[in-house]
């Protein structure tokens, strides 16, 4: 954490909120309620942590409006205490940037256009007719193919691959090992062998998108794979060819999305979920962890297909009963028919 001392009054002037207590209280770090000490600012977002609030050693806290008087410490009261805390954290811990310029070991092809204030790290490759905007940072070992576009203010970490003709919008963050624009998984059967279908589409990524480490986004077969503005992808996600992901959707780690799936806006998809190909998911849908989606969802809601963990012996009993559901259903129907026949009239 950065050691940047700041007064509570300065934070309120910058980010808003109600200040309760000494406005000249100084903090220099942010910490959780449990681990905070003198000089730290902590926050409460979930009422179940009130006990930790009572015991915290923090110098000051950020509280939601409903918990305004839950502490006697100097405090900032905010409509969304978690978001407020995140903004203060970003303010006190700005990302260190590399100096502008092209490292001597980088290779920039003829015709590539490099914006002002842009940094290209060691052992990078920038292809023919690539276009890189102003104030972009490209980490060591990254590869940008021919005719790629990277928008203003984006940050590509080390060893990022963006293949030919793919487009990344402004202010994107792409973490190490991400691959954008690899071939989609497309094959046609040729007798007993597979014939590879050329993948000639692109990947088009909007503004303010974040892509996690080792996440892979395949180019389209004919049409483009599209991520709209403000999409957030965690680590180790697979996005198949011709997919479309709507604005403000957030997807957690290890999710697999098969080709030509269309995911709506403002969706939330938890870790290890699987999304089948050629289906659609409505705007505002929430999908639970490890849930398999095999049919279109046309109505927003919360969908869960994971069976929660049980002690092994109990799980064996439940599994044994599940295997007999068809048999039990047949018996119930038989009983219903027998009762119907016995009923008078």
Residues forming the active site: 241
Q: How many CB atoms lie within 10 A of CB 159?
A: 19
**Separation between Cα atoms, residue 150 and residue 203, nearest integer Å:** 12
**Separation between Cα atoms, residue 176 and residue 230, nearest integer Å:** 19
What is the torsion angle, in degrees rounded to the nearest 10, for the CA atoms of residue 158, residue 163, residue 169 and residue 171? Answer: 0
**Separation between Cα atoms, residue 110 and residue 19, nearest integer Å:** 56
Integer angstrom CA distances of residue 81 from 33, 77, 189, 295, 340: 13, 7, 55, 38, 61
Closest CA to 253 of 184, 143, 175: 175
> Which strands sit side by side in the sheet containing 280-281, from one edge to the other?
113-114, 131-132, 149-150, 167-168, 203-205, 225-227, 244-245, 262-263, 280-281
């Amino acid at each position: 954490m950065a050691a940047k001392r700041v007064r509570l009054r300065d934070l309120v002037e910058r980010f808003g909120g109600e200040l309760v207590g000494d406005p000249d209280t100084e903090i220099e770090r942010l910490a959780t309620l449990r681990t905070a000490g003198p000089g730290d600012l902590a926050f409460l977002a979930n009422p179940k942590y009130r006990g930790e609030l009572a015991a915290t050693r923090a110098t000051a806290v950020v509280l939601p409006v409903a918990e305004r008087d839950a502490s006697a410490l100097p405090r900032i009261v905010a409509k969304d205490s978690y978001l407020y805390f995140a903004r203060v954290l970003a303010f006190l811990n700005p990302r260190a940037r590399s100096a502008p310029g092209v490292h001597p070991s980088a290779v920039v092809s003829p015709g590539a256009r490099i914006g002002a204030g842009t940094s290209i790290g060691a052992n990078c490759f920038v292809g023919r007719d690539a276009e890189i905007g102003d104030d972009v940072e490209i980490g060591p070992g990254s590869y940008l193919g021919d005719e790629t576009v990277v928008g203003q203010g984006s940050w590509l970490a080390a060893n990022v691959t963006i293949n030919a003709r793919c487009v990344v919008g402004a202010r994107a963050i792409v973490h190490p090992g991400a691959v954008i624009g690899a071939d989609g998984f497309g094959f046609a059967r040729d007798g007993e062998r597979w014939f590879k279908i050329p993948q000639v589409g692109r990947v088009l990524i909007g503004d303010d998108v974040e892509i996690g480490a080792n996440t892979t986004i395949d180019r389209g077969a004919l049409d483009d794979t599209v991520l709209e503005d403000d999409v957030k992808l965690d680590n180790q996600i697979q996005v198949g060819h011709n997919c479309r992901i709507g604005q403000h959707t957030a997807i957690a780690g290890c999710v697999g999305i098969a080709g030509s799936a269309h995911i709506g806006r403002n969706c939330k998809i938890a870790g290890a979920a699987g999304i089948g190909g050629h289906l659609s998911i409505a705007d505002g849908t929430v999908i639970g962890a490890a849930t398999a989606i095999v049919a279109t969802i046309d109505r927003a809601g919360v969908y869960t297909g994971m069976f929660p963990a049980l002690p092994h012996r109990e799980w064996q009993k439940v599994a044994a009963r599940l295997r007999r559901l068809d048999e039990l259903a047949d018996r119930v129907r038989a009983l219903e028919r027998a009762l119907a026949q016995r009923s008078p009239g």
